[in-house]
Every structure is written in C-alpha cells, then in structure tokens.
Amino acid sequence: MAQALTHSDPHIGDRPRPAKNYLNATTGIWSWMSTVDHKRIGVMYLVAVLSAFFVGGMFALLIRLTLLTPSHKLFGKVLIDADAYNRVFTLHGAIMVFLFIIPSIPGSLANFVLPLMLGAKDVAFPRLNLASFYLWCGGAALAVTSMIFGAVDTGWTFYTPYSTTTQNAVGLMTMAVFTLGFSSIFTGLNFIATTHKLRAPGMGWFDMPLFVWGTYATAIIQVLATPVLGITMVLLALERAFNIGIFDPKIGGDPVLFQHFFWFYSHPAVYIMIVPGMAIISEIIPTFSRKTIFGYRAIAYSSVALALLGFLVWGHHMFVAGQSELATVIFSALTFLVAIPSGVKLFNWLATMYKGNISLETPMCYAISFLLLFAIGGLTGIFLGALSTDVHLTDTYFVVAHFHYVMMGGTVIAFIGGVHYWWPKITGRMYNEKWGRIACALVFIGFNMTFLTQFFLGSKGMPRRYYNYLDQYQPLHAFSTFGSWVLGLGLFIVAAYLLASLRKPMDAPDNPWGGTTMEWLTSSPPIEHNFEEQPVLEHEPYDYRPKVKKHA
C-alpha cells in the first residue's frame, strides 16, 4: 500500500534499514563518475561546492588579515602587496559567486531533495544533470588555470574598460564563467521540467513543498537570465581578442553598456542565490515549530514574484555610474517593490512560529539566525535603494556589508542549516547536536562581528576594494578581522563534527525531525530508486494536525 503521512511523534516511520541504499548499491569510483542518480550527483555537487567554499573562505580570511593594519604587516613582514590583494579579492568574489553560492543549493541540496519531495524517482533528465556537474568541474578547472596564468585583478564584476585592457588571464576567467553559466542553465532546466511533469499522483501545484516552489522560481531565473551572462562574457572575450568595439570607449564602445549587460544577469543572479535559501527556511521553520506553515500561497507566490521582479531592477547597481537620470529614478522605484515579497516571507515565518511547539535543534538555530541576519540585510537594502543615501553609500563597505548579510547571512546560513536538516537523510547519520549548536552560535557571533562593523566603515566613507586605507578606519578594520577568526573557527567546527559523524555506523531514523514532506518517507539514506512504492499525496503540505492512520 502507499505510505500515508502521519506525524505526531518525530521518530515515527522507523523500520529496519534496507541493506542496499543509493550509497552502496554499486561500488567503485566509476560507478560514481558515471552515475545518473540525482542523489549521487547531489552528493558530488555538495563535495564540490564545499571545496569551493573552503578556497573562497581562505581568500576571505587572507583579505581580512591583510586589512588588519594599514601597513599590512604581520610579524614585521608585508603580507601581500596591492597587486596580489586585487587578485585575492577578485578570486574570493568570483569563486564564491560563480563556483559556490549560485550552484550551492540548487546543485547539491535541491538535486538530492527535490525529486524525493515530489515523490519522483529521479530528475527529468538524469544525463543532463550529470553533464551539468561536469560543466561545473570544467568551469572550476578553467578558473584554476586562470590562477596559474596570472589570475585576474578586475573584481568579480569584470567592469570594462579595465577588464579589456588589463594584462592578465581575464579571457580564461570569462570562459570559466561562461561554462559555469551553462552548468547552471542545465540544472534549472531540469528542475522546471521535473516540477512540471514528475509530481507524485495527487500532488497539485499548491500541494508542493515550499522548497520546491523556491527551487522552481530559482530555476526560471537560471534559465532566463544566465544566457545573457554567457553572451556578455563572449563579447568581453572578443573585445579583448579582436577589439570588436562594443565596450572599449577608445574604439567607440560604451563601458556603461557592459554594466547593463552584466547586471541584467547578475541582479537576477542575486535571487538565484537567495530564493533557494528562503526555500530551505520555509521547510525548517514549520518542521521544528511542529505547526503548519502560515500563508503557504503567499510564500509560494512571493518566490515567483521575487524571481520576476529580479529582472526589473538591475539598474540599481548603477545609480551613479552614468546611466540616464530617468532610468535611475525608475529603477529606484522598482527596487522598493522587492521589499514587499521579502517582508511577506519574513512575517509569514514569524507567524508560523507563533503558538508552535518549537525545539531548537541545529537546523532551527540556523533558521532563526537567518531571520535576524536576513532582516538586517533586507533593511540595509532600503538605504541603498533610496536615491540620496545611495549616492553616499554605494561603492563603500556599506554595500560590502549589505550583500554579505544577504548572501552569507542569508543564503550560506540557510545552506548550512539545510545541510544539517538533510544530513541524516543524505548520509544516514546524525551529527553531534551539542557541537552543532555551539558552532552555530560562533558563526552567528563571528559573522556579526565581521560584517556589522563594515556598515559603520562604509557609512564613514571607506570605499570598497581598497588595499590602503586611512588610519582613522583602523580600529573598525581590526575588529572586523577578529570577527572573521571567530566566524572561521565556527565553520571549522561544523566541518569537523560533520566529517566525524561519517565515521560512525548509520544511526539516523527515516524521519528524525518529524518532517511532513515526502523525502522523510523513504529510508535514511534512500534506496537507489528513492521509494519502495510510489508515494501518494493524501493531505495538504505541512499538516501537523493529529491524524488517525487511515489504513492501519
């Protein structure tokens, strides 16, 4: 019989663990490299993006260490010079954006969970899914190659005409970004088709888990925005190689046109990064509040609204860049519209917690951290959306702090929360709960030390991408650097106890948190074809009302 979803006790659903699961169904390196199983591809993606996160994070710590003092000296020696510094922050940005955050949640967690949540056996195009992963690898290889050939010192935004004239490996890096773009497109395309056609019997659009809604909205942006990035990178590379005359003003091109092209993708890309993070939070909060989600439709629609509005606000990166005055005013007005769906989500999550039955396991700790950090990220966005304050704050550390609150305080915190939430499902093992909470506290404190400080630096007039700075900023810079160590320590602990959990035998129940979505119906870890029987949806999502088992 089909399995009915019931959930009065968090540990329900336990049964003997199947001997064969997706991890041990086949063995050998080749069985992984040639796999078309979305779960294995998800795991490979997870390893890959976390490696990128590690490398990008090391660059971040190096940046902070360099800025500890205005002389950049450590034990009497200059740490890195201005040229090296410019390469380091460019690599930090490019790796974190293109190799880590954009593919992070879609590539790893959504790849693993989305088909399970829909009750499907795989994504729509399993081979395309594997191709997407190898394109990621290709992009990463190109990025690494560019580091060998002198790296790139343009900033991750590749602004022309600096990027068309600088003597380093910009060509390789643009090809890396182009390749990663197609990896992202294929993932998105796959998820849209999967969501449309592979839902379990009885599952209508408004019966889907909100994580699926968020991933679906993200996929739309991935498919519709990324090709423009691709062609922009091609144009940039051709401008460098042949002087085609589109971006370089010396031959009649328009450098501001590049910014329009770039942000036409890269602003929607912000929503490729944050919407999946929000989608994870929409899963964690009802589960640990043991209460149905408040405003399901509002949250679902707001994901789609964010995806669409994301295409209309790219000009807010360019208020002082030389676009027309009228465009600036219109982009500012549209930008404020983004505040509404973001606010709606925040209020809905809080309302979900109201009168809940809340336990603070690690994923929930990250979800609450997310609420606070994303609130700050969103509210400081208003400073930058308002025209007159943006004139002062743009291109300063205020912007740096703002997007780190959204990208790291939002997406990365949600991602780590999601990794904890689905860790038992993915690996079949529970991690150390006590260390989980300690590390979460350290990450939260360290993050705020690092980046709250930078709002003050920026307001005081400290421009971004500065190697040297005036002495007056030193105390704040030093404090931010100390914060980065706390943050680094927190993340190191996370890595340590998660890896440690892999050494013990499998101990995770099927549904450790009492979740109501379909991925908890199968064993932990799932069997190769996900479900022993096709699950059938029998009630609306996030239904925590006590139930009588209909078919006992």
Please, which of residues 217-246 interact with other proteins by CB under 8 A? 223-224, 226-228, 230-232, 235, 238, 242-246
Q: Count other Cβ atoms within 10 Å, centred on residue 18.
A: 14
CA–CA separation, 383 and 549 (whole Å) = 52
Q: Which of 383, 405, 421, 520 binds other proteins (CB under 8 A)?
A: 383
Name residue, tokens 């899914």: 129
Determine the Cα angle at 235 with ends 229 and 239, to 5°. Answer: 145
- Applying CB under 8 A, the span of 136-144, 203-211, 309-317, 465-473 interacting with other proteins comes to 465-473
Going from the C-alpha of 182 to that of each of 96, 102, 106, 225, the distances in angstroms are 17, 12, 14, 11
Q: Contact with other proteins (CB under 8 A): which of 121, 437, 539, 547?
A: 121
- Assess 468 for contact with other proteins (CB under 8 A): yes
536 binds other proteins (CB under 8 A): yes
Binding-site member from 78, 329, 495, 500 for other proteins (CB under 8 A): 329
Neighbours of 383 (CB within 10 A): 18
128 or 304: CB nearest other proteins:
128
Within 13 Å of residue 218, how many CA atoms lie on the same side as its CB?
A: 35
In the list 78, 141, 470, 496, the residue contacting other proteins (rule: CB under 8 A) is 470
Query: Binding of other proteins at residue 545 (CB under 8 A)?
Result: yes
Of 431-460, binders to other proteins (CB under 8 A) are: 456, 459-460
Out of 343, 435, 438, 497, the only residue in the binding site for other proteins (CB under 8 A) is 343
Choose between 162 and 482: whose C-beta lies nearer to other proteins: 162
Output the CA–CA distances (angstroms, integers) from residue 290 to 9, 505, 508, 521, in the order listed. Answer: 10, 29, 20, 17
> Is 332 or 450 the residue whose CB approaches other proteins more closely?
332
Contacts with other proteins: how many residues (CB under 8 A)?
Answer: 137
Tell me how far, at minimum, the Cβ of 423 lies from other proteins, in Å.
Answer: 20
Would you give the binding string for other proteins spanning residues 35-64, x where CB under 8 A is met? ------------------------------
Give the residue, chosen from 180, 269, 275, 368, that forms a contact with other proteins under the rule CB under 8 A: 368
Angle among Cα 100, 106, 108 to the nearest 5 degrees reads 75
Can residue 290 be called a binding residue for other proteins (CB under 8 A)? yes
From 207-215, 331-339, 401-409, 490-498, span contacting other proteins (CB under 8 A): 331-339
Q: What's the farthest any 2 CA atoms get from each other in the chain?
A: 78
Residue 376 makes contact with other proteins by CB under 8 A: yes
Interface stretch with other proteins, choices 92-100, 384-392, 443-451, 485-493 (CB under 8 A): 384-392
DSSP 77: E
Q: Are 388 and 319 in contact (CB under 8 A)?
A: no
Cα 57 to Cα 488: distance, rounded to the nearest angstrom: 8
Rounded CA-CA distance 385/324 in Å is 16
- Reading the block at residue 144, the tokens are 């690494």
Are the beta carbons of 484 and 61 closer than 8 angstroms?
Answer: yes
